[in-house]
Structure 1
Amino acid sequence: MKKIYLVRHCQASGQEPSASLTKEGRNQATKLAQTLGSIPFDKLYSSPFRRAVQSIEPLALQLDKAITLDDRLEERTLSGNPIDNWLEELEKTFRDLSYTVPGGESSQKATSRGIAAISEAIHHTKEYAVLMTHGNLLTLMLHHFDPTYDFKTWKALRNPEIYCLHFQNGEIDSIENITLIEDTP
């Protein structure tokens, strides 16, 4: 059994690749390290976007593990230009996985690169790996294994969000949503 943890980054100040975590996001990253810190991860992978790297750094420091940056974990580009009706367009990409907004990336293409990153993690991991990514891509990867994960799932995601994919002999066995440890009074 191998367990691959897919994690959506913590709260950030924006959507651009250089956006940093907010103060709340930095607190969430600390809680994320507390939540996942007892797991003996073999590998830590992250989108190179700043908010993703900052989200996984406390865990990497706690475990004294290197972070492998993987461009395949970058957030999906919905459109080449800003669009006012982006939410409607995003929903279309979940209903029709081949639909592409001009200058954007289809759900099929994004899913393909995300699944390739998961496959590599499975191949290079003894038992546990974590992949720090973004909400849209995370939802598409979950959808690949279970179509009930959809646009509504994406809309309900939190920052951060943790899913554990259980693989048996290279095949998906189950998907588990993990709750972030909260401060106790």
Structure 2
Amino acid sequence: MVLQTTLVLVRHAHSTYTSDELGRPLSSKGFSDAVQMSELLQKESIDVVISSPYKRAIQTVEGIAEFFDLDVVIVDGFKERTLSGQPVEDFDVAIRAVWENPAFSWNGGESNLIAQQRGVEATLNVLDLYEGKYIVVGTHGNIMALIMNYFDEHYDFRFWNTLGMPDAYKLTFENKKLLEVNRLWTEI
């Protein structure tokens, strides 16, 4: 029997910037949007809620977990890509460079290939572990686009640049093959 697995990748809501990447919280707008994301996903039949270890990703999906009386499972592979070991002078230039050359990385950072490998490995593990289930994953824009790009090259730098904060894409898999992608989130 062939089972379809649904994976909803949720990009975290707007966060209040701090240099603490792991502990950066949602902003007041982010909390408001996270409530709306929870309400949107309450219409689905969620079996599992997973998140990056970053606070803003957890806070974006924890309302969904609470509604379905589930724990948030932390999976390190869904954390955001490390762009550089040091703050970059111009984020737009830095991010464009890694997308234009997938093997390139800034000092102390991850190339697109390395970050994508990490994210895809986490995704394939989740697809194995929860085959046939409906899974929500709280994650980040760059790693989300890199994961989706692995399954369909259409999800590239231009796609990443259009993602909202939050955003949500529903991916339907069968035997780890991507069958369909649907955007669930639209700005309200």
TM-score, normalised via structure 2 length: 0.92
Q: Counterpart in 1 of 2:142?
A: 136
Q: Any conservation in 2 of the 1:143–1:150 contact (CA below 8 Å)?
A: yes
**Deviation digits for residues 22-71 of structure 1, max 9, x if unmatched?**
11111111111111112222211101111011111111111100110111
Shift of 1:115: 0.8
**Deviation digits for residues 151-176 of structure 1, max 9, x if unmatched?**
12112110111011111222111211
Report the identity percentage.
30
Q: Counterpart in 1 of 2:13?
A: 10
Alignment of 1:56-75 (within 5 A): 56-75=61-80
What stretches of structure 2 of length at least 5 have no aligned partner?
Answer: none
Which of 159, 168, 182 is the equivalent residue of 1:176?
A: 182
What stretches of structure 1 of length at least 5 have no aligned partner?
Answer: none
Code of the aligned partner of 1:151: F
Q: Which moved more, 1:147-156 or 1:58-67?
A: 147-156
1:116 aligns with 2:121: yes
Code of the aligned partner of 1:60: A
What is the alpha-carbon root mean square deviation over aligned residues? 1.4
Q: Counterpart in 1 of 2:55?
A: 50
1:156 aligns with 2:183: no
The list of structure 1 runs, each at least 4 consecutive aligned residues, that deviate by more than 3 angstroms after superposition, is: none
TM-score, normalised via structure 1 length: 0.93
Shift of 1:2: 1.2
Give the whole-Å Cα distance in 2 for the aligned partners of 1:87 and 1:144: 22
**Deviation digits for residues 93-119 of structure 1, max 9, x if unmatched?**
112111111110111111111111111
Which of 6, 24, 33 is the equivalent residue of 1:28?
A: 33
Shift of 1:86: 2.5
1:94 aligns with 2:132: no
Q: Counterpart in 2 of 1:41?
A: 46
